[in-house]
Amino acid sequence: MQTAVIVFPASNCDRDAAVALKKVTGRDPLLIWHRDTSIPGDVRFVVIPGGFSYGDYLRSGAIAARSPIIRDLVARAGTGLPVAGFCNGFQILTETGLLPGALLRNRGLKFVCRAQTLAVTNIESRYTSAYAGMDHVTFPVAHHDGNYFADDGTLNRLEQEGRVLFRYVGNPNGSARDIAGICNGAGNVFGMMPHPERAVDPLHGGTDGLGLFTSIVESL
């Protein structure tokens, strides 16, 4: 199955994402440069990788979210193409408006890199079905701006609609209501600050991240 990773200047988890996608699909994903203007038609799943696109200058994800490729990404997401953003990818997705809210500086103001326990709060989504029977997973977090914020109305709606897919157990960054990962109303666009793509190999210290990729790939 064809998948793709969008690469921005100073994306740096593009390789991490590519390794995970290859592991699950058996095929190298396309790497799409941010200046391209369209995502090839056969691409079934797009990952926006972590990193420091544009050095996180201005606001994390802000400049990347105005890249040429984004117009087509938004259009295709609107027609149901699954798009997942991890870490900087999540920040970019909120900046494009594909996901609600924003990511502020961590409460502790420091970059934080550690293994993070997460509660899987909805196993019925396209991104979490493989976690049936697993309450908790451990993914690494590695971010400076991971403090999820949205107004109360938005938070309530996310919760009511079952769109909060992961919550932190032991909040590392001050995120509202311990939110670690959310999806859009249609369930095809997903973003989270932790890095499932860095937990796909026993040598990483765990393989909990694989379930996320198998879930979405099997839903196609």
44 binds other proteins (CB under 8 A): no
13 binds other proteins (CB under 8 A): yes
The 3-state DSSP class for residue 209 equals coil
215 binds other proteins (CB under 8 A): no
Active site residue 183: no
CB-based burial, 161-180: b 16+ in 10 Å, e otherwise: eebbbbbbeebbbbbbebbb
Tell me the C-alpha to C-alpha distance, in Å, between residue 79 and each of 31, 63, 72, 82: 21, 24, 11, 9
**DSSP bridge pairs for 141:** 114
66 binds other proteins (CB under 8 A): yes
Interaction residues for other proteins, span 73-112 (CB under 8 A): 94-95, 100-102, 104-112
Active site residue 87: yes
Piece of 47-55, 73-81, 125-133, 186-194 that binds other proteins (CB under 8 A): 47-55
Active site residue 143: no
52 binds other proteins (CB under 8 A): yes
Least Cα distance to 145 among 108, 196, 198 occurs for 108
Tell me the C-alpha to C-alpha distance, in Å, between residue 189 and each of 99, 108, 169, 201: 7, 29, 23, 25
63 binds other proteins (CB under 8 A): yes
Q: What are phi and psi of 181, to 5 degrees?
A: -155, 140
- Binder to other proteins among 183, 204, 210, 213 (CB under 8 A)? 204
As annotated, the active-site residues are 87, 195, 197
Residues in touch with other proteins (CB under 8 A): 9-13, 15-16, 19-20, 50-52, 54-59, 62-63, 66, 94-95, 100-102, 104-115, 140, 142, 144, 147, 149-151, 174, 195, 197-198, 200-201, 203-204
